[in-house]
């Protein structure tokens, strides 16, 4: 991938898919060319969280919302230190931001971080094409479209790629920051299927829930080791809010080194790439099973399933956005969730080792599992919901409850 400094003059640009489909537009961000897997996300907001979500590593992300950049960018909404996606595709780039938190225009942010982008693209047509023919490799650049097509065709597909080494921390560190003043009330909801503070109408009393959460957060009783396969900062903040003292370790950390930290529980983070290719991570999870409570999100959920002998497979175009409907099968509640994944767990391969706890209501794919023997559990979506709805933040409290029960 080649990236050069941005110039002020608008330049013609193309997005070319591996199947030869071409989309003209104008260059934004850094100039040059880039290659990655073309995918789309249906979120109406949260473009900076998309840009900095490590799970988008090596992908060209198309925003389906028609205008992007209205609220500018800021440091607080970063999910990682810098973007790791390969390219950014929008229909219309807002030339002016309007938000009291904004510190930089989106175009300047893309250029400063070396992100090649394209605007004035028919993103509706692109999204429909990916929906119909599947996510595929593509190239963006100011080069001749035939050259871009050659680059897209020769690029290795996402299948078989372990990308965790590109996004994981190189060394361990302690994470102490919670969500602070931005903390939503429902992050403190109890973890059980039957809420103890529900009235006859099913309304939850927040006072008691908030008091319980605040007490746990103040004491920080629970030491959690978070295995970083590409973790989002908002997930770590939610663990802190739930009362956890968090140590983040690299994806390559061996099980014996995780256990040497004497954690009360182990968290398996989200991340990019093909889960079946993360062989070292699968082996580590296998060794941790039954020794400590385990909770996995997205890639972490998939690694847990693979460690239990299940299979994963690539979805045609994946689930990406802030409006994905999921049902918690234990409570029958419907949650609107944030998701970002191109692979899924094969339910049939779980056999009698696990139960499926959550299901996607659009296509009936597996969205959550629980190991019957050890209680280890995971969900396919992002319950911290940054950006997005907070319906599923109760899962962090459920993890803490599992830790309490194991003591």
For 70-114, the pLDDT digits (tens) are: 999 999 999 999 999 999 999 999 989 999 999 999 999 999 999
What would you report as the CA-atom Rg of the chain, rounded to the nearest whole angstrom? Answer: 21
Using CB atoms within 10 Å of the CB of residue 324, give its burial: 0 to 12 exposed, 13 to 18 middle, 19+ buried: buried
278 and 305 Cβ atoms separated by less than 8 Å? no
Domains along the chain with CATH numbers: 2-154 (3.50.30.20), 164-406 (3.40.50.880)
In the predicted model, what is the mean pLDDT of the chain? 90
Query: Among 50-59, 174-183, 189-198, 338-347, where is mean pLDDT lowest?
Result: 189-198
Distance between CA atoms of 75 and 87, rounded to whole angstroms?
Answer: 20
Say which residue, 286 or 351, is predicted with more confidence: 286
Residue 382 annotated to the active site: yes
Residue 190: the pLDDT is 42
Considering the candidates 298, 335, 354, 367, report the single residue annotated as catalytic: 298
Distance between CA atoms of 91 and 69, rounded to whole angstroms?
Answer: 11
Distance between CA atoms of 118 and 41, rounded to whole angstroms?
Answer: 16
Which of 228, 222, 202 minimizes the C-alpha distance to 396? Answer: 222
Residue 384 annotated to the active site: yes
Distance between CA atoms of 187 and 189, rounded to whole angstroms?
Answer: 6
Phi and psi torsions of 199, nearest 5°: -90, -170
3-state secondary structure of 362: coil
For 198-248, the pLDDT digits (tens) are: 333 333 333 343 344 445 455 558 999 999 999 999 999 999 999 999 999
Which of 255, 275, 176, 241 minimizes the C-alpha distance to 383? Answer: 241
β-strands 222-228, 312-328 pairing: unpaired
* Sequence-ordered list of residues with C-beta below 8 angstroms from that of 200, at least 6 positions apart, any chain: none
Q: Against a cut of 0.85, is the pTM above it?
A: yes
Distance between CA atoms of 105 and 111, rounded to whole angstroms?
Answer: 10
Two tokens, residue 368: 């959550």
């Amino acid at each position: 991938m080649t990236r050069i400094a941005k110039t002020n003059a608008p330049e013609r640009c193309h997005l070319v898919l591996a199947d030869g489909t071409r989309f003209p537009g104008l260059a934004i961000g850094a100039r040059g060319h880039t290659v990655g897997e073309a995918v789309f996300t249906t979120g109406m907001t949260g473009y900076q969280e998309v840009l900095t979500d490590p799970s988008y590593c090596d992908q060209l992300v198309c925003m389906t919302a028609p205008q992007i950049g209205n609220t500018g960018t800021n440091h607080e909404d970063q999910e990682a230190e810098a973007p790791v996606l390969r390219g950014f595709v929008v229909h219309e780039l807002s030339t002016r931001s309007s938000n009291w938190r904004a510190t930089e225009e989106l175009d300047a942010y893309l250029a400063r971080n070396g992100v090649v982008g394209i605007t004035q693209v028919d993103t509706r047509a692109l999204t429909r094409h990916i929906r119909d023919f599947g996510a595929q490799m593509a190239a963006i650049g100011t080069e001749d479209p035939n050259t871009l097509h050659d680059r897209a065709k020769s690029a290795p597909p996402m299948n078989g790629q372990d990308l965790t080494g590109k996004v994981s921390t190189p060394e361990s560190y302690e994470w102490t920051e919670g969500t602070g003043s931005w903390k939503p009330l429902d992050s403190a909801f109890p973890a059980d299927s039957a809420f103890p503070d529900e009235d006859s109408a099913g309304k939850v009393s927040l006072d008691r829930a908030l008091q319980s959460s605040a007490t746990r957060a103040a004491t920080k009783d629970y030491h959690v080791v978070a295995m970083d396969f590409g973790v989002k900062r908002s997930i770590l903040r939610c663990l802190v809010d739930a009362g956890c003292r968090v140590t983040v370790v690299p994806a390559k950390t061996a099980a014996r080194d995780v256990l040497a930290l004497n954690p009360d529980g182990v968290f398996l983070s989200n991340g990019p790439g093909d889960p079946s290719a993360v062989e070292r991570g699968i082996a580590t999870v296998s060794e941790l099973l039954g020794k400590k409570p385990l909770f996995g999100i997205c890639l972490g959920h998939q690694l847990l399933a693979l460690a239990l002998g299940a299979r994963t497979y690539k979805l045609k175009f994946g689930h990406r956005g802030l409006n994905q409907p999921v049902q918690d099968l234990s409570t029958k509640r419907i949650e609107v969730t944030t998701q970002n994944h191109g692979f899924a767990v094969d339910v049939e391969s779980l056999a009698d080792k696990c139960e499926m706890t959550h299901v996607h209501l659009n296509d009936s794919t597996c969205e959550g599992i629980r190991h019957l023997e050890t209680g280890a559990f995971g969900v396919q979506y992002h319950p911290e919901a940054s950006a997005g709805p907070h319906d599923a933040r109760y899962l962090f409290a459920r993890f803490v409850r599992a830790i309490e029960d194991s003591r």
